[in-house]
Structure 1
Amino acid sequence: MATGQEVHAQLQQTNAERQLLELQIEEQRYKRLRTTSTQRRVQPKRKSEIRFTDQIIFAGLKGTLVGRTLSVGNNMELKNWKCKCIAYLCRNVIIDFTNKDQLKLIGVALEKLNSRFQLFVERAERDLTPLSDATKKIENHASAKTCLKKIEAHNYANSNERATKMIYVHILDQIMNKPILFHGSSRKHFSEMSFLVKFWGPVIELFFDANQCCHWRVRSPIINNPLKSALITKVHLNAVLKRIPYLPAAKIKTVVVPMIQIMGLSCVVYGMNIIDKKVYTLQKISSFNYPSTQREVKSGGIKSLLDGFALVE
């Protein structure tokens, strides 16, 4: 029978053999990792295979719409901003109906896209006939002043009418009492944030939900960021669709997320929807200007602005 010392010695020997075996296994593992890492550095990266998930086909188009769009995006050289914009739109399978260069590279005509996928957004009404009728009588400074007083005296029936009235007052008051804001000599010194704060910001905050507060942050000029706006809109659309998983497949195309681009006194409203699995379209819905003269107000400039924002609402 083994003594206690012999048992202890056997345990020590067994433990030493186990540690040696673990070291050998770890060394072999380390060698495999180094070999794999070296191979990955030496071997050229393979382009990811394009998976054709849609069934959208047009006459003259090579393959499906998704396949052709991804092919354009993956093969385009990113030599300048224009190429980067088209490439990243294509890689995200966003078909911009207003981007003629992208459509030309994909090989599909705008007319063909419109015939099958053009957005039709129901027009909402937020204008007040008495106020728009009053602006039609503007002929000179005196009549514009009379028009402003009449609008200020208008009695509204609900919060929407109050917002519409205050937008009319805000714009007319600027044109009448602070025309220097609209002079070219002033506007050439304005930043994008200046246009938001002085013109669009008050209108947007009046028009939309009174229980929500807008937060404005300094960004690079939006005219240089149409791509960023499109990608953010895609994220919002995906988030909306995830929140309504019970929506029938046939109704998914009807979900439209708006995108607003403001450039100086001009505004463009776009709509993005999904027309097939992972296939998005970006389409221009409306465009309008911030009225800067009495003539523009008389010709319905404020009404056009209200109608444009009503599409977003």
Structure 2
Amino acid sequence: MRLSLARPDQAPRLSQFYRSIHGPEFAHQELFKAETLAQLLNDGEIAIVVATHERELLGCGLAFVRSWNQSLEISTLSVAAHPRRGEIAKALFEALRRLGIKSYGIAFFRASTESSFRRGRDMGATCWGYRPAPGSQDIDQAELLMGFINPAGQHRRAEPPHNALTSTPFAMRIIDLLEEAERNVPYPKSFPVGCPRGTGAPVISGRIWPTYHSRGNYIYIENAAGAFPVEIIKEFTEKVRKKGVRDVRLTLPVNHEQAYHELCAIGFRTVAYLPGWYLRGPNRFDCVELVFGAPPVNHAPTTFVERAVAKIHRDLRA
């Protein structure tokens, strides 16, 4: 079996393969069109690892490139009917993991079942938290966030401050596994942080640039400039919630302890600790992800996801 990175000129064959494997329920219908797939590969928005044997195409591993923080999200593993199907899928995943760690510094994926969680953990992944399903009030639809980080890679992870955000049991387990860190590197003064790709909405004395995801009915706040960022976030959240947006999300560098407490006081909930998530200059900085309008945590959990989320929620509270 040979593993290789897909090239744009291979798009017609890969597109045909995806159409033969998946039906109309497939989440990434754009891969069915050769022209679109070629453009995505050419622009570097996606990466596909291809498994072949002689001239036979055995499978494809899809990942999404996040250039703003140099990370790779491992997504769908598509494998043809084959006696070694499980082995092929494992090889595709490992190839994407290596690509993410070596070329970007961070690789992560979302696990929705106990088996995928255990497989990831067996390969060295650490649980970083959970992602509620966009706009859903059912915690069982959440996905567990599993990640790998190269702390000594091209961009060095800065040592986080010791405060309420980094001293939770959940955060400390992650930090203890990452011994290498650059000391005495100042953390970002602004918050929240993210890819500045959204539309502007003037609020109070500053400006928020949220990213709208209308299909999932949720918003990511990528930046809150101005003298009073928490007040800006509060007013913006109230406005969009009145218009029917179900949840609002943001990422906060872990040095902003006061902002964290203020955001929690207005209804935001911590759902993940993200080591080295924010990239600025030569360094990576730890962050926490918060959600306003997250589904309630089931305190009498019955499913694997509910039990995992309840434990994460308990261990993340500062």
Q: Same fold (TM over 0.5)?
A: no
For the pair shown, which has the larger CA radius of gyration, 1 or 2? 1
TM-score range, shorter chain: under 0.3
Higher RCO (CA-CA < 8 Å; seq separation 6+): 1
Higher helix fraction: Structure 1 or Structure 2? 1
